[in-house]
């Protein structure tokens, strides 16, 4: 029985890819095919999480959302 797992991911430093799936049993023989996508097809979430600095910034921003005292209020009429 053939089955397939399709994932989009970013290439890591040194041209490395990491595939992880609970559907992949230990010791299974697999065939891997890689299609290089044009830059404009990159998922925005993947891009935003592509670097450690971006991930850290997003985590801090999410934490700030839980604290209304950090909000900056802007009057649109003053713009």
Q: In whole angstroms, what is the distance from residue 50 CA to residue 17 CA?
A: 13
pLDDT band at 45 (very low <50, low <70, confident <90, very high): confident
**pLDDT above 70 (res 1):** no
Cβ neighbours for 30, distance < 8 A, ≥ 6 positions apart: 24
As a whole-number percent, the residues of the chain with pLDDT over 90 amount to 24
- What φ, ψ does residue 16 adopt, rounded to 5°? -95, 145
Contact between residue 43 and residue 8 where contact means Cβ atoms under 8 Å apart: yes
At residue 17, the pLDDT reads 93
At residue 41, the pLDDT reads 65
* Residue 78 in tokens: 């003053």
């Amino acid at each position: 029985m053939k089955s397939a797992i399709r994932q989009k991911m970013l290439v890591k430093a040194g041209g490395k890819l990491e595939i992880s799936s609970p559907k992949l049993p230990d010791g299974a023989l697999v065939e891997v095919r890689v299609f290089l996508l044009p830059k404009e097809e990159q998922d925005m979430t993947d891009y935003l999480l592509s670097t450690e600095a971006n991930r850290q910034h997003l985590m801090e921003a999410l934490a700030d959302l839980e604290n209304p005292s950090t909000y900056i209020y802007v009057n649109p009429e003053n713009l």
